[in-house]
Amino acid sequence: MTALGLVALASPTASAAVGCRVDYTVTNQWQGGFQANVKVTNLGDPVSGWALKFTMPDAGQKVVQGWSATWSQTGSAVTVTGADWNRTLATGATADMGFVGSTTGANPKPSAFALNGVTCTGATGEPSPDPTDPPGPTDPPGPTDPPATGTPVAVNGQLRVCGVRLCNQYDRPIQLRGMSTHGIQWFDQCYNGASLDALAKDWKSDLFRVAMYVQENGYETDPARFTSRVNSLVDMAEARGMYAMIDFHTLTPGDPNYNLSRAKTFFASVAARNADKKNVIYEIANEPNGVSWAAIKTYAEQVIPVIRAADPDAVIIVGTRGWSSLGVSDGSSESEIIANPVNATNIMYAFHFYAASHKDNYRATLSRAASKLPLFVTEFGTVSATGGGAMDRASSTAWLDLLDQLGIGYANWTFSDANEGSAALKPGTCRGSDYSSSGVLTESGAFIKSRVSTPDSFPTS
């Protein structure tokens, strides 16, 4: 990271700051484009309402899309203003954001930034007289959040949607990373005390997604038994400090309205039973397919009030058109959702991908949509869309790097020993007690564990 000097016009509604720091990092480059992260730290007085300004040093550099703030560009001048959920910066607080840019040639880093008229030198006090002169190695670093200790739920508490991000109890954006079950009607033996201990302690998973199929010998065959099993898995995740995503796994038929009555019954029950828990997220329709966005929206606007009646605070995730591809797999795009969003608050939209099948055009859609819609990758695989075949390591890496850069949470398909490429565990693993060692992990499992188990660094202030 590079701490840069800063110059800008003051915001008339903002409090004055007396010190700040900017870390500007180019995280990815390709021919004709790049992606950058920008982190501003307030080292002075609290700021209520902020504007960050900087100048693109090359005339060919343009902001294409940004996230976690409002971005605009006139000529070479870029202005970034805080969103509703991060417009206030306490002393020592940071705002993390980023953008995708286009470039016609060289890609030099901006050399002048400004926060509400104050030159940021990485230190408190008077601004540097030369805003193009970056601080030297002896300049003090900006403050960082204290290291978070405890389980994901203990640190983050009740979640909510703020702007286009998932935020914790401190109103700071976070990314949850974890695993999805396979269908619990087929692989229930994989989900026990030993496997969830491994997931929480060895994998360091933040999230456990419970995939409860509705058809395919699932919920419709015995609603009471499946509801009870889902609740028990929520409890097991809670006991280990993981978030539990209750997935109403509709797949065939693809119109979620076919299961509207079942959804209302199921979610009324689990929401009432789990309303006091802080670790529950509701996913109300796994992969709508062969159906319009208007029909999906109608379904969501009937199911969400049922959950809200019992559990007014939990985050709810809405499936999207084309197997939760934001419509891309149907030849559409995120624009139909942006133009006609679900009439509800504290919701996110699902996005699914399988790395060997879904590549640049899907990644481009996700990048565009991330600045407009709150997104959660509730399911993805490292293989083809069939769930089988060889792992595509390059595409999987590109996907997870992008999700990390955008701060989008994800759950991998699957934490199971199914005889298919997407499974994290080798066949027969669930008959034993080892769910973590190299001997029981598939190629996909070893790769995903290496990504999920890296430190979370959840912000706490």
The values of phi and psi at residue 232, to 5°, are -65, -35
pLDDT of residue 148: 61
Contact status, residue 461 vs residue 93, Cβ threshold 8 Å: yes
Domain check: are 245 and 366 in the same one?
yes
pLDDT of residue 224: 98
- The DSSP output letter for 445 is H
Domain check: are 239 and 346 in the same one?
yes
pLDDT of residue 323: 97
Q: Between β-strands 207-213 and 177-180, what pairing exists: parallel, antiparallel or unpaired? A: parallel
pLDDT of residue 39: 86
Domain check: are 103 and 157 in the same one?
no
pLDDT of residue 110: 84
> Active-site positions?
287, 379
Cα gap 170→430, rounded to integer Å: 38
Distance of CA 37 to the CA centre of its chain: 16
Cα gap 444→423, rounded to integer Å: 7
Contact status, residue 150 vs residue 381, Cβ threshold 8 Å: no
Domain check: are 94 and 178 in the same one?
no
Walk along the chain (461 residues) in steps of 10 and give the mean pLDDT of each run. Answer: 32 48 80 81 83 86 82 90 76 79 82 77 45 37 53 96 93 96 98 98 98 98 98 98 98 97 98 97 98 98 98 97 96 95 97 93 91 96 91 93 93 97 97 96 96 92 77
**Which structural domain, as residue segments, surrounds residue 62?**
2-115
Q: Is 64 helix (H, G, I), strand (E, B) or coil?
A: strand
CA Rg value for the chain: 23
Q: Cα dihedral angle (183, 184, 187, 191), rounded to 10 degrees?
A: 130
Residue 40's domain is classified under what CATH number? Answer: 2.60.40.290
In a domain, 124, yes or no: no
Predicted TM-score (pTM) above 0.85:
no
Contact status, residue 200 vs residue 242, Cβ threshold 8 Å: yes
In a domain, 142, yes or no: no
Read out DSSP for 158-170?
Answer: S-EEETTEEE-TT
Domain check: are 404 and 355 in the same one?
yes
> Of 90, 115, 140, which marks where a domain is finished?
115
Written as one letter, the residue type at 182 is H
In a domain, 127, yes or no: no
pLDDT of residue 85: 61
Q: Between β-strands 375-381 and 410-413, what pairing exists: parallel, antiparallel or unpaired? A: parallel
> Of 87, 115, 143, which marks where a domain is finished?
115
In a domain, 458, yes or no: no
pLDDT in tens, 400-438: 999 998 999 999 999 999 999 999 999 999 999 999 999
pLDDT of residue 111: 67
Residue 19, token pair as written in the block: 């010190």
Within the chain, how many helices (H) and strands (E) appear? 11, 21
Contact status, residue 168 vs residue 458, Cβ threshold 8 Å: yes
Domain check: are 79 and 161 in the same one?
no
If one counts the domains in the chain, the total is 2
Domain check: are 74 and 211 in the same one?
no
pLDDT of residue 454: 94
Could you tell me which residues come within 8 angstroms of residue 107 by beta carbon, excluding any fewer than 6 positions away?
Answer: 26, 29, 34, 58, 61
Query: Nearest CA to 155 among 142, 163, 165, 145?
Result: 145
Domain check: are 398 and 318 in the same one?
yes
> Of 64, 87, 115, which marks where a domain is finished?
115
Domain check: are 162 and 280 in the same one?
yes
Which is it for the CA torsion 441, 443, 446, 451, positive or negative?
negative
Domain check: are 111 and 47 in the same one?
yes
In a domain, 145, yes or no: no
In a domain, 85, yes or no: yes
Residue 309's domain is classified under what CATH number? Answer: 3.20.20.80
Cα gap 367→78, rounded to integer Å: 19
Domain check: are 161 and 62 in the same one?
no
In a domain, 434, yes or no: yes
Read out DSSP for 100-130?
Answer: EEE-SS--PPP--EEETTB---SSBSSPPS-
In a domain, 128, yes or no: no
- The DSSP output letter for 461 is -
Domain check: are 175 and 37 in the same one?
no
pLDDT of residue 15: 40
Cα gap 206→222, rounded to integer Å: 30
